[in-house]
Amino acid sequence: MTEQSEQQEESPVLTAIEGGVLTITLNRPHRHNAVTGRMHREFHGALAIANDNPEVRVVVLRGAGQSFCSGADVRDFVPPSQPPSPAQRAMDVMGGRDLVEAMLAVKQPIVAAVRGYSMGLGATIALFSDVVIASETAVFADTHVNIGVVAGDGGAVMWPLLAGLGRARYHLLTGERVTGALAADWGLVYKVVPDGELETESDAVIATLAGLAPMALRGTKATLNRIVRQQVDLVLEYGLWAEAVTFLSEDHTEATSAFAQKRRPNFADR
């Protein structure tokens, strides 16, 4: 998607503050809330609102329509007439740490209400939240390998931490999907509920958190995030470097072209 067409879209990230709750809604329902460059930038800005507003006690992440977030918009990866240089592409990938840091920098608890697709970058956003309530329609996956790149960003941090190394190995190596029910059984998410109860259940968790002592919540989150940050420091720098390298590979170009053309890819291992 070009910058001009992005600007013609309705804002891809909506924010609202009510009763001490900041609600951030990913708002590209026609693309299952797939992330574009503009959406990425606006999501950063929305997260910053929490730290800038002392009245905010809880942050809520939702997706408009039938999905939470289907990941980065693959159509952005199909080479345009003037593709970015290899250095620009590598730098864009290495900037992936910014999103992780932005989520960890939010002092208040983050609650993610997830239905439908939560894939790739979408799964990373959900799993870096503090409490994840998923509906039975939720589907989680880290699909980096399916577009010919290393699963080296936030998924490599959170999947082993939450689901265990053995499960993470299989699902990051294959990109295979995980249902909401299985995600809850494994500890990827806190709870799974029927689709029609997602709002009610997540609102109840939000109300509980909003009614607790803010300083105690912020301190507890900061303490637990020391575990997450240790994993980030162990994994993320190397993972993003490896991902950046494979973004420049012929196999990545082939994978994205095959996806766009709805055909089977033919990988050359280069």
State yes or no: pLDDT of 195 exceeds 70: yes
Which of 110, 115, 116, 118 minimizes the C-alpha distance to 35?
118
**pTM, two decimal places:** 0.91
Cα(237)–Cα(152) distance, rounded to whole angstroms? 9
The per-residue pLDDT for range 168-194, each reduced to its tens digit, is 999 999 999 999 999 999 999 999 999
Average pLDDT, the chain: 92
Superfamily covering domain 3-261: 2-enoyl-CoA Hydratase; Chain A, domain 1 (3.90.226.10)
Q: Where are the domains of the chain?
A: 3-261
Pick the more confident residue, 174 or 88. 174
State yes or no: pLDDT of 80 exceeds 70: no
pLDDT (mean) for 202-226: 98
User: What pLDDT is recorded for position 83?
Assistant: 62
